[in-house]
Amino acid sequence: MRKILSKTFFQRNTLAVARELLGKFLVRKIGKREIAGIITDVEAYDGLNDKASHASRGKTKRNEVMFRAGGVWYVYCVYGMYEMLNIVTREKGYPSAILIRGVLADDVLYKKTNGPGKLTKFFCIKRSLNENQAQKNSGLWIEDRGIKIKNFLRGKRIGIDYAGAWKHRLWRFYIMVEIAKI
């Protein structure tokens, strides 16, 4: 079963969508080649009050996409060298997004996708994907392949010490991944 997630999947509560993304497949098509991996690690950023969110200071040219209706990509650069992949959630006008931090396909792929910067490099994700729909015609989408994740961990979001009390929110959702040594 391969079902591409619709816009309505993303146009819901950000924390619920974040939890439900675990076990879904991030799929990228480049030319005739298609690569995919199971989403294992995400972080939620929700609303104007969330001091860790890019939207906490209001709408800007950079974060404008976060104010759109859910189901579009928000891709931005950090440290001048890493693209970060986010999927926008909720309804139009309410800024929220989920950072995709990690993906697992197999041992070789995992070593290249176990962090948000590594993931975007391996999947050839560029800022040109920013504002595109998470649908097949954009070359980047998320599929439900029937995997249900019942046991997951929650933790603090990473790298947001500037966010005051908001840095303590348990808005990171992830599953433990063990790679067998051969």
CATH of the domain at 49: 3.10.300.10
Terminal C-alpha separation, the chain? 30
pLDDT per residue over 150-165, tens digit each? 899 999 999 999 999 9
Work out how many domains the chain is built from and give that number: 1
Is residue 170 situated within a structural domain?
yes
Give 105's pLDDT tier (boundaries 50, 70, 90). Answer: confident
User: What is the C-alpha to C-alpha distance for residues 119 and 64, in angstroms, rounded to an integer?
Assistant: 23
User: What is the C-alpha to C-alpha distance for residues 17 and 34, in angstroms, rounded to an integer?
Assistant: 24
pLDDT per residue over 4-20, tens digit each? 999 999 999 999 999 99
Question: What φ, ψ does residue 136 adopt, rounded to 5°?
Answer: -55, -40
Is residue 154 situated within a structural domain?
yes
Q: Does residue 170 have a pLDDT over 90?
A: yes
For residue 39, give its domain range: 3-174
Is residue 46 situated within a structural domain?
yes
Q: What value does the mean pLDDT take over residues 111-136? A: 91
Is residue 180 situated within a structural domain?
no
Phi-psi region of 23 (alpha: psi -120 to 50; beta: other; left: phi over 0): left
Phi-psi region of 74 (alpha: psi -120 to 50; beta: other; left: phi over 0): beta
Give 179's pLDDT tier (boundaries 50, 70, 90). Answer: low
Cα atoms found within 13 Å of the Cα of residue 146, Cβ hemisphere only: 2
Is residue 181 situated within a structural domain?
no
pTM assigned to the model: 0.94
pLDDT per residue over 23-78, tens digit each? 999 999 999 999 999 999 999 999 999 999 999 999 999 999 999 999 999 999 99
Question: What φ, ψ does residue 75 adopt, rounded to 5°?
Answer: -120, 125
Is residue 13 situated within a structural domain?
yes
| pLDDT at residue 158, rounded to an integer | 95
45's tokens: 């950023």
Give 182's pLDDT tier (boundaries 50, 70, 90). Answer: very low
Q: Does residue 107 have a pLDDT over 70?
A: no
Is residue 182 situated within a structural domain?
no
User: What is the C-alpha to C-alpha distance for residues 69 and 134, in angstroms, rounded to an integer?
Assistant: 12
